[in-house]
């Protein structure tokens, strides 16, 4: 019962952050959406920031779960890495809360949103860096700084998926895969 109530509050807050952004979301609003008293929220979360952090941590775990599910045993290392990357960024691009928070950051520069989205980016970089380090250990990837390469991959992917579309025709997933192969896989592949 308690976990159901907490989940209902989390879902209500996620809905509010997705619709109105961080700045415009209040604990009163979350309570109304969850159909609970405001005090009930404080049973589980000390403040809006605590609730926001909890939601971001949950979304990070879901992104990692999706990325792990995209990895196929027996497939080449770089094919799996590209699929995992694509799964992460697809999740991020399609999740309404990330879309709204990105708009809020761009329009208002809300500090808590900036910190929250940075936490998400850091988690993605660490996830990819671990896979690159594993690739180095297994002999699939040339020696490199996994964290720097993961950061470059994320920024390149983000630029192609989000930024490119602002002034150009959308790039297909196949084109992005070719760029990933050319720039990263060919450059890092130990066999090349």
**pLDDT, tens digit, for every residue of 85-122?**
888 888 887 788 988 998 999 999 999 999 999 999 99
Q: What is the pLDDT of residue 178?
A: 87
* Least-confidence region, from 9-13, 125-129, 182-186: 182-186
Q: What confidence category does residue 179 fall into, taking pLDDT thresholds of 50, 70 and 90? A: confident
Identify the pLDDT of residue 1.
63
Q: Pick from 49, 60, 14: which is nearest to 33 by CA?
A: 14
| pLDDT at residue 191 greater than cutoff 80 | no
* Assigned fold of 1-45: Arc Repressor Mutant, subunit A (1.10.10)
Rounded to 5 degrees, φ, ψ at 148 are: -65, -45
User: Measuring CA to CA, which residue among 48, 34, 38, 30 is closest to residue 4?
Assistant: 34
Range among 1-5, 39-43, 73-77 rated most confident:
39-43
As a residue count, the chain comes to 192
CATH second-level architecture of 53-188?
Answer: Orthogonal Bundle (1.10)
Q: Give the separation between CA 31 and CA 12, rounded to whole angstroms.
A: 8
**Identical fold between 1-45 and 53-188:** no
What does the block give as tokens for 178? 């070719």
Q: What is the CA 14 to chain-centroid distance, rounded?
A: 15
With beta carbons less than 8 A apart as the criterion, state whether 178 and 106 touch: no
Q: Is the pLDDT of residue 186 over 90?
A: no
pLDDT digits (tens, 9 = 90+) for 137-176: 999 999 999 999 999 998 988 888 778 888 889 888 888 8
- The domain locations on the chain are 1-45, 53-188
Beta partners for residue 141, in sequence order: 189
Measured from the Cβ of residue 109, the count of other Cβ atoms closer than 10 Å reads 9
In 10 A of CB 119, how many CB atoms?
A: 14
Q: Please report, for residues 100, 116, 159, the alpha-carbon distance to residue 15 in angstroms, rounded to integers and kept in the order given.
A: 11, 17, 27
Residues 6+ apart with CB under 8 A from 4: none
Residue 15 three-state SS: helix
- How confident is the prediction for the chain on average, in pLDDT? 91
Q: Is the per-residue pLDDT at 19 higher than 70?
A: yes
pLDDT of 49 strictly over 90: yes
Distance, in Å, from the CA atom of 103 to the CA atom of 188, rounded to the nearest integer, reads 34
pLDDT over threshold 80, residue 192: no
127/180: higher pLDDT: 127
Q: What is the pLDDT of residue 79?
A: 87
């Amino acid at each position: 019962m308690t976990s159901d109530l907490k989940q209902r509050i989390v879902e209500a807050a996620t809905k509010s952050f997705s619709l109105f952004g961080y700045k415009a979301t209040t604990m009163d609003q979350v309570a109304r959406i969850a159909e609970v008293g405001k005090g009930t929220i404080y049973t589980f979360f000390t403040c809006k920031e605590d609730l926001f952090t909890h939601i971001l941590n949950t979304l990070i775990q879901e992104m990692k779960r999706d990325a792990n599910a995209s990895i196929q045993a027996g497939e080449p290392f770089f094919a799996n890495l590209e699929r995992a990357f694509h799964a992460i960024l697809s999740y991020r691009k399609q999740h309404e809360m990330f879309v709204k928070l990105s708009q809020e950051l761009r329009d208002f520069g809300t500090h808590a949103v900036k910190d929250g989205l940075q936490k998400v980016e850091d988690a993605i970089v660490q996830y990819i860096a671990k896979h690159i380090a594993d690739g180095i250990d297994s002999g699939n990837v040339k020696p490199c700084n996994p964290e720097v390469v993961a950061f470059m991959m994320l920024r390149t992917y983000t630029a192609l998926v989000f930024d490119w579309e602002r002034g150009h025709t959308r790039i297909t997933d196949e084109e992005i895969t070719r760029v990933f192969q050319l720039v990263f896989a060919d450059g890092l592949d130990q066999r090349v």
